[in-house]
Amino acid sequence: MPRYKLVIEYDGGPFCGWQRQADELTVQGAIEAAVTRFSGEDARLTCAGRTDAGVHAIHQVAHLDLAKDWRTDTVRDAINAHLRPLPVAVLSAEIVPTRFDARHSAIRRHYRYRILNRRSPAALTRAQVWQVPWPLDPDAMHRAAQRLVGHHDFSAFRAAECQANSPMRTLERLDVARTTMALHEEIVVTTCARSFLHHQVRAMVGTLMLAGCGRLSADDVADILASGEKRRCGPLAPASGLTFVGVDYA
């Protein structure tokens, strides 16, 4: 029974997240239905990182097992044919050893968050950004972000419904920079870790936004982290600005 590794991209806007739900449109549910339609098999996908409703991906990784040894380009093209017109696509498919596990074999996951920092609303990218109309200082945000890098208890940035066994996580990178696009109106937050808590990235971005407008200092952000108190955290940044951009394997 061959195991297939899929690289997937999707616009999270129409979906109620990645994970299959009985009565809701999800990315996993849509892809599994497409696999069943082309192969006749009731396959199950395992992904590198489950995303919430509204969160996008440009390099999500998943695996599935099929009884038949299909050509990899057939798997890719057949799934895509049955996904239309949903905004999700399989970019590649390859056969991998059965010891490969999209979730458990991952050693690092990467996310990007986009903030549109201007008064005028987004016309073309409104489903991919968080519009913040007041001025933000990306350098102040970056300085505050460095106080979160490392191995910490991230309880202050954890969703109440998070099911992780421990709030301890090692944040390898959290960078904030204004892009070089026209008018420099976009601020991008990039981060990576082996794993994240539920809502951790969005909670960190919301807190860094407060640092960017002068309401919090870098020391304040460090104090919030040390307190473990979610009530002291900044607002939860909207899902629309968050994109899963990649995953590393050994």
Catalytic residue positions, numbered = 52
Contact (Cβ atoms closer than 8 angstroms) between residue 125 and residue 13: no
Q: Are 127 and 203 in contact (CB under 8 A)?
A: no
User: Is residue 8 within 8 Å of 62, Cβ to Cβ?
Assistant: yes
Q: CB–CB of 158/207 below 8 Å?
A: no
**C-alpha angle with apex 13: 12 to 15, nearest 5 degrees?**
65
Contacts of 204 (CB under 8 A, 6+ apart): 145, 148, 157, 174, 189, 191
